[in-house]
Amino acid sequence: MELFLYRGEWGLPTIDYDCARLLAYLKFAEAKITLNFNGNPFSSPTGMLPYLVTEEGKKIGGYNRITEFLQSRGFDANAQLEGQNYIVINGCIQYVFENLFPYFMYSLWGDPKNLDTTRALYAKRIPIPFNFYCPRKYVLKTNELTVSLAGFNLEDSVELHDVKDLQLNAKKCINWISEKLGENRFFFGDTPSEIDAILYGYLSVLLKLTLPNNVLQNHVKQCSNLVKFVERITTIYFAREGFTSASSNSSSSSSSNDSSKEKPEQEQKFYDGTQKDSDDTPYERRKRYVVSGIFATIAMVSYALLSGILSISQHDHGGGGFISYDEPEYDDEE
């Protein structure tokens, strides 16, 4: 089996919440799966990463469907929990989803101050020309949330973006997580479970991604036990998968690098090689520029033909056609 994900940054294995929680789930369930950090969301059944390719070649997209498949194969991150905690965990997951997820998504994909930063981060990890299209999926998903929960469209004027309730719920949820975690290593003591994987997905991105308007990051940093929680999981389970690009200038990258250098006590059973920034090589940069130029040229020529600026004319001499340019007409000034 092979799992396709977004490449990481800031010392984390991935930049994406869904990919991060699935990676943590795999570690906790001790599932041996090949990891591919150069995934293309255009190849995914959902149009987003992560997606899994089974031994039979079947593609499964999305966290819920992938974990359901893994559980059917005997890989369950909750297997070591006691019966009572196994029941409670579903309620905890639902509470976090209802209260933290909406504003989390708006902060990344809805806030006009942050959107360009988030889009550029994802676009760098998606092959051309799909990087022009795929990030839009996340914006549309966020728009569905704001329309249903807050009553505004992302295309509305920013003055109409009333997210006070969403933000308040997210902060209360973070406080609740911090209170429940306390000084424990994991949510249910010393044993990691699915709720820890989900919390790692949220908190790792919130803590490391630097955005122009990052209210939740400041709130998480005030909860020292949540900061230690993220650092603990990153160090123990992702010390070798953690990645920081040469071009990264995030303020948090130095601390992430320090933690990523620490070796875990236990051997990582399904690590599939260190991540490499394929965009940093001269060949990849040259290829990216050439493909971008070709794509831009095709787009400009197509626009010119559709708008009538260029036209293809057929003439008898030679039997071949050629492209003619229709010059604009100007009125003579007297």
Domain boundaries, the chain: 2-241
C-alpha distances out from residue 128 to 14, 49, 117, 294, Å: 20, 16, 18, 11
For residue 250, what pLDDT is reported?
A: 42
For residue 311, what pLDDT is reported?
A: 66
For residue 269, what pLDDT is reported?
A: 37
Residues 279, 125: Cα–Cα separation, whole Å: 9
For residue 267, what pLDDT is reported?
A: 35
For residue 253, what pLDDT is reported?
A: 40
pLDDT tens-digit series, residues 27-84: 999 999 999 999 999 999 999 999 999 999 999 999 999 999 999 999 999 988 877 6
CB 254 within 8 A of CB 261: no
Angle at 324 between CA 321 and CA 326, to 5 degrees: 150
Integer Rg of the chain from CA: 24
Nearest Cα to 49, choosing from 34, 64, 63?
Answer: 63
Rounded to two decimals, what is the model's pTM?
A: 0.77
pLDDT tier at 255, thresholds 50, 70, 90: very low
pLDDT tens-digit series, residues 24-39: 999 999 999 999 999 9
For residue 286, what pLDDT is reported?
A: 61
C-alpha distances out from residue 26 to 3, 59, 187, 292, Å: 10, 17, 17, 36
CB 24 within 8 A of CB 197: yes
Both structure tokens of 102 = 């909406």
pLDDT tier at 326, thresholds 50, 70, 90: low
**pLDDT of 320 higher than 70:** no
Q: With respect to CATH, is domain 2-241 assigned 1.10.1760?
A: no
Residues 242, 25: Cα–Cα separation, whole Å: 16
Beta-bridged to residue 2, according to DSSP, are: 34, 53
Mean pLDDT of the 234-262 span:
64
